Structure 1
């Protein structure tokens, strides 16, 4: 089998309904030269059964990387998924984000040596998230602003993300005040660069562990490139029981140290020192 040119890492945890919508989105991609690595932070056996069945429905290679449930250990499973990637370029997203059909194409279009790409997401309310069927993804209804508004999505300037044309997306990427950061739901970079900073800091649970990776990449000399209006994904709403202030505060302290010390390599990443 030919080695893929790109790897897409999708994180998940006991959320088959949302993961299925995400995977259906990736089967509709205009650019096909990629593999999928599912970074599973300890889901029950039903998730494995679903993934095994889904593999039979697509020609895209899918690798399921799993470890035992030990609380929120997304950083650890992402590091394991990184090592499972067989390509040189890595795109990261989450199993609650439906990619537009050109999602991978946009990441491939803008990838460049010395840079990582910083995409965004469009958050949908729970009622709209539930209204999206697999057929709606296949027919691209869920990327039609009018269709989404009719199903409960509020009106907002941010809706421009969903269906910006080529000229509009370039202009919006240029004028946005949001700085390019590594966002776990929509970011990409060269595997060698991510390995050079030793991947994710496994001390970090929920709250900014993706940003901290990007901050070490910047310390390494890798620049961020903004594509938040080019590579589009819809973020499906759901409860976040793993979110707590203690984790957020601890991670904030680690990020502050990374910035002040200009740290490049974490001793708590893929290679333990």
Structure 2
């Protein structure tokens, strides 16, 4: 029997096989390999399962596929189910449209410490660049090189510093960024015991801030946050968001407001139901 992995990586997905494939290729190139991969699948069809089966042997441990039937946007529900199957004590969450740089997992391991969660960011790519990235570009890490990305159609921007900053410069940018160190579903990590203590994600919440609300309850519980958005790098592949509805956003905003005002540390609508 294998020893418990040092970290569990939960990747959420829904019917985005080509993007998930590129994401998983990114995890085959990680410098730190003592992890378990859990795919939190919000009701994808057979193609996602087939992809997972085809790539599972590339990893130290077989990929775990946590799936439920498609019943609308239920990301919070499937993430809670995925949390329960993690064997590791420490959990990193990202999405199936975010390709991780080779030191992505190692950076989360390096900065983790008790009573903290880590807040990473992402670098958004336009559709033309997202489609251009091949497995060779991921293997060679070209897809994180600003000059190569520009050659594929990326426009100049101050945000490009997210990829070009390294070492001392990235640590400095982490310190001075005005962006709050929040729980970001595409790039955040924390202790499983802390997440279970607040009862996981609020399953009433659909698209729009359900990850931030979890982080707000962690902070209300006394868990501190650390900014690593300039040193834990993943590139975000572009996609449409046809599932987003105004009522989802309004409902989530109401729940988040309640969490902040009442300083809630627990949801009655999470993993454990009343």
Per the normalisation by structure 2, the TM-score is 0.98
Post-superposition offset of 1:162: 1.1
The aligned residue for residue 99 of structure 2 is: 98
Per the TM alignment, residue 59 of structure 1 is displaced from its structure 2 partner at its CA by: 2.6
The residue that corresponds to 1:267 in the other structure is 268
Q: Which runs of 4+ in 1 moved over 4 A?
A: none
Determine the structure 2 residue equivalent to 1:72: 73
In 2, Cα distance between equivalents of 1:61 and 1:141: 27
Residues 34 and 60, structure 2, Cα contact 8 Å, conserved in 1: no
Q: Which residue of 2 aligns with 1:179?
A: 180
Query: Could you tell which deviates more after superposition, 47-56 or 131-140?
Result: 47-56
2:84 alignment partner, SS class: helix
Question: Secondary structure of the equivalent of 1:87?
Answer: coil
Kept in 2: contact 1:27–1:60 (CA 8 A): no
Q: Deviations over 1:197-248 (max 9, x none)?
A: 0000000000000000000000000011000001000000011111111100
Does 2:199 match 1:198? yes
Q: Partner of 1:68: helix, strand, or coil?
A: coil
What's the counterpart of residue 248 of structure 1?
249
Q: Tell me, yes or no, if structure 1 residue 145 matches structure 2 residue 146.
A: yes
How many corresponding residue pairs? 273
Q: Which stretches in structure 2 are left out of the alignment for 5+ residues?
A: none
1:119, distance to aligned residue in structure 2 (A): 0.2
> What does residue 115 of structure 2 align with?
114
1:216 is aligned to 217
Whether the 8 Å CA contact 2:173–2:230 is kept in 1: the answer is yes
Residue 58 (structure 1) shift: 3.0
Tell me the equivalent position of 1:164.
Answer: 165
Residue 83 (structure 1) aligned with residue 94 (structure 2): no
Q: 2:19, 2:96 within 8 Å by CA — same for their partners in 1?
A: yes
Q: CA separation in 2, counterparts of 1:27 and 1:230?
A: 19
Hey, what's the Cα distance between the residues in 2 that align with 1:222 and 1:127?
40
> What do you get for the CA RMSD once the two structures are aligned?
0.7
State the alpha-carbon separation in 2 of the partners of residues 57 and 173 from structure 1.
Answer: 33
Aligned residue for 1:189, secondary structure, equals strand
Deviation string for 1:42-62 (max 9, x for gaps)?
Answer: 000111111111112333431
Q: Deviations along 1:68-95, whole A, 9 cap, x unmatched?
A: 0000000000000000100000000000
- Contact 2:28-2:58 at 8 Å conserved across structures: no
Q: How does 1:120-131 map to 2 (within 5 A)?
A: 120-131=121-132
| TM-score normalized by the length of structure 1 | 0.99
Match in the other structure for 1:28: 29
CA offset at residue 249 of structure 1? 0.7
Contact 1:7 1:90 in 2 (8 A): yes
Query: Aligned equivalents of 1:234 and 1:191: distance in 2?
Result: 25
Indicate if the aligned counterparts of 2:33 and 2:60 stay in contact, CA closer than 8 A.
no
Query: Counterpart in 1 of 2:4?
Result: 3
